[in-house]
Structure 1
Amino acid sequence: MRFFFSVVLTLFFFTSFAQGDSLGPVADNSHLRISILTCGSGNELYSSFGHTGVRVIDSSKGRDEVYNYGTFDFGDPDFYSKFMLGKLLYYLDKSSYPDFINVYIAEKRAVDEQVLDLTEVQKRTMLSYLDSNLRPENRAYRYDFFFDNCATRVRDIFPKVLGEEFYFGSALNGKKISYRGIMNQYLVNKHWERFGINLLLGSVTDSIMTDDGSMYLPDFVHQSLIHAKYRGKHVVSADNVLMKSGITEARRFNGPLWMMIGLLILTVLAFHIPAFRYLKPVIRFVILLVTGLLGCLMLFMWLGTNHQACTGNYNILWAIPLNLVVAFLAGKKKFWLRIYALAAISLLIVALIVHVIGFQRMPLIELSPLMLALMYIYIDLYKQNIDAPVPAALTPTANPPADDTL
């Protein structure tokens, strides 16, 4: 069940104006202080990648609030269906700073604050932008984990408010890494979740990130702001640690890997040891059924939803949707099953090539035992149908009728 749970978790993984400052530096009498809050990773899957918020302090009004682009309506009766279809709306919300920070204190997560060095006009423009986004007609947006989330929304504030003379510093420092690659680093100890998510993500996530693209993660927004400048002047005046992480996470047991190894061992025993031969039809049925169901889910997430990250998923080369049908017919003598087995073996080889050339990276460490088990099943399927009768339509006529025409 953990295997299916990790895939389901994936589905929950995957729920203006612009005005530059043309007046130049002026004295700041606004009593405003604006900063970017970067919250560290937590233990739960939803908190694994951190969070970003915008803190606004107005000392003249006794105001200390946080603008948060990462809220959603869990009470929506269509919440689950909308998230699965990639249609779930997230909202900009505003809360008091104490209410915001208490969540991270309770979860022992790190929080850093970058104070922005802006003029009075720039601060008021940024605050107006946030308040405009907070209006009922503007506050909702369709969430996308890689391309439109709480971090990218904060990233986009700066060029929209400060204009073309603003630029971020480098977040990657010349490193070449894909969206999938950096995501896996954050999930290094969450094996089931990492495995399930990687099964549903398509080849689009294997493209190399730009500095701008890397800012789908709060840590990279923070890194980019360190050297961000407007008209040659640093935008961040202070980078403060509000809370250090109190989370200690030991390396966890790789459950999906050992489950797949166990499945491969059972497959080998069933195919080679007479005492375990009774397991052969059971294992064949289970593996074909599960891979067929997975293939159908992958195809649905690719073609039937708005999840950009699930498009072009070539895991269906080994998780063949038709396995769902073959699972119920594999014990029968059918000529087409022999052809199907040959095609499935070929697709397995193509899947490995797709991974090796980097077109799409698959969780091959965990998948290798499963692929070997599939190879056993397909080879056996071919052998047991090698003497299956060829359909009459495919058999050439031994004695063609004589031509009576003169």
Structure 2
Amino acid sequence: MENKFYVLIFSFMFFFSFTIKGDDNIEFSIITIGPYEDELYSAFGHSGIRYRDKLNNIDLFYNYGIFDFDQPNFYLNFLNGRLLYMVGKYNYQTVENFYINQKRYVKEQVLNLNNSEKIILFNYLEQNIRPENRTYLYNYVYNNCATKIRDILITVYGERITFKKKSDNKTIRALMDKYLKNNKWGDLGIDICLGLEIDKKASYSEEMFLPEYLFNNLEDSFLDDNVNLISKTNIINSNSPVINKNIFQPKYIFLLFLIICVFLSFRQIKYSLLYIYFDFTVFFISGVIGVLLIYLWFFTDHLSSFNYNLIWAFPFNLIFSFLLIFNFKSNLTRWYTIINSAVLFSLLILWNFLPQNLNDILMFFVLGMLLRVFSNYIYLIRSSSR
């Protein structure tokens, strides 16, 4: 009842502003916030809607990027790709100061709206923040803070709006990679967990899942009377975050892993030594990753189907890892080393020709696995001939 009363009072103030001074004192704009390197979920930037009533000194920010750690089954929902996000309403100046303190750029695009469109947009936002309407099922590509704004504009303008229909002709994965150049661990995790679905070319509409692409598209969009969709663009803060160089990067870790594998394989072939516990660890980890990828594919709503990383992260590597310890000289172990060597070698040869763009850093890991499994095969052949 209190929420309804609040909406009623707020609506009265909204219409009162129109009555007294026309619509010039009411302004809606799209706020675009730059990427933030410290958190993966902020690496792609953020978008929101600003409502400003100059007559009544009201300045609000509608934020579609809120999630609550205390929601029931938060971590399970996150793992399953069924996380609920919310829309909330905040004091705009507080929000702006927060992002400026993070040294992120803040850009504003003032929308060209007639009186009726302002009323539609205001009512839409106020209805959205009601408790029964405020949550939505989040998807990092198809239903996020930026795509919500795109869809709201389509609802408000209807057929009047025409978006720029020229895309960058890049895949969804390539678009993500653009924002993860300084977050290599996050990039690697995404490239391992997400499958072939994000290797399709993104349309102009799909590109707008990224706030910066939404911003650029709106800049070039127009209404049916050849009026620009955006009446004015303001650069509120032009700063970009300072990039901290970190030597603990995956390419160095995986290169070190490959060097260790070369060293151990050389010693194994030359001196007939075994490094079973090292190999157990390698294939156990790859098998666990494979089980995770199967789970993400079949039991979650993540974009993880048809994942070519399963070629090297094969779930049966889990079984193989225990064979190495408990039944190393069995025929099953020998046949697995033959098949696995052929598969890993073929993967490396065909790496750049696969429909899924695998992370190149993983080549170090795959080559290391190939060296270890092939060295074990050589050891088994020599052992059987004695």
Residue 222 of structure 2 corresponds to 229
Partner of residue 99 from structure 1, selected from 91, 94, 99 = 94
2:358 paired residue number: 362
Q: Residue 147 of structure 1: SS of its match in structure 2? A: coil
Name 1:72's counterpart in structure 2: 67
- Indicate how the Cα distance of structure 1 residues 107 and 277 shifts in structure 2: closer, same or farther if over 3 A, else same: farther
The answer on whether the counterparts of 1:167 and 1:229 sit within 8 Å (CA) in structure 2 is: yes
Report the counterpart of residue 346 of structure 1 in structure 2: 342
2:278 is matched with which residue? 283
SS in 2 for 1:333: coil
The structure where helix makes up a greater share of residues is 2
- 1:317–1:350 CA contact under 8 A, matched in 2: no
- Shift of the alpha carbon at 1:377? 2.3
1:137-156 matches, within 5 Å, as: 137-156=132-151
Aligned equivalents of 2:271, 2:109: Cα separation in 1: 63
Q: Which residue of 1 aligns with 2:291?
A: 296
1:363 is aligned with what amino acid? N
1:113-128 matches, within 5 Å, as 113-128=108-123
User: How many percent of aligned residue pairs carry the same amino acid?
Assistant: 32
Cα RMSD over matched residues?
2.3
CA contact (8 A) 2:37 2:182 kept: no
Structure 1 residue 43: Cα displacement: 2.4
Tell me how far 1:179 sits from its aligned partner.
Answer: 0.8
State whether residues 105 and 236 of structure 2, in contact with CA within 8 Å, keep that contact through their aligned partners in structure 1. yes
Judge conservation of contact 1:179–1:209 (CA < 8 Å) in 2.
Answer: yes
Contact 1:333 1:384 in 2 (8 A): no
Count the aligned residue pairs.
Answer: 360
1:265 correspondence with 2:259 = yes
Contact 1:191–1:254 (CA<8 Å) still a contact in 2?
A: no
Give the whole-Å Cα distance in 1 for the aligned partners of 2:271 and 2:134: 61
Letter of the 1:191 counterpart: K
Quick one: distance in 2 between partners of 1:137 and 1:90?
Answer: 13
Q: Report what 2:15 is aligned to.
A: none
**Letter of the aligned partner of 1:256 in structure 2?**
P
Counterpart selection for 1:240 from 231, 234, 239 = 234
2:116, 2:336 → 1: CA distance?
Answer: 68
User: Secondary structure of 2:236's match?
Assistant: strand
Inter-partner Cα distance in structure 1 for 2:261 and 2:348: 21
Inter-CA distance 241–311: structure 2 relative to 1 (3 Å threshold): same
Q: TM-score, normalised by structure 1?
A: 0.83
Q: Counterpart in 1 of 2:193? A: 200
Comparing 161-170 with 50-59, greater Cα deviation is found at: 161-170
1:171 and 1:220 in contact (8 A); partners too: no
Aligned CA distance change for structure 1 residues 137 and 352 (closer, same or farther; 3 Å)? farther
Counterpart-to-counterpart distance in 2, 1:261 and 1:297: 24
Structure 2 residue matching 1:164: 3-state secondary structure: helix
The CA deviation at 1:190 is 1.2
Per the TM alignment, residue 171 of structure 1 is displaced from its structure 2 partner at its CA by 6.0
SS at match of 1:92: strand
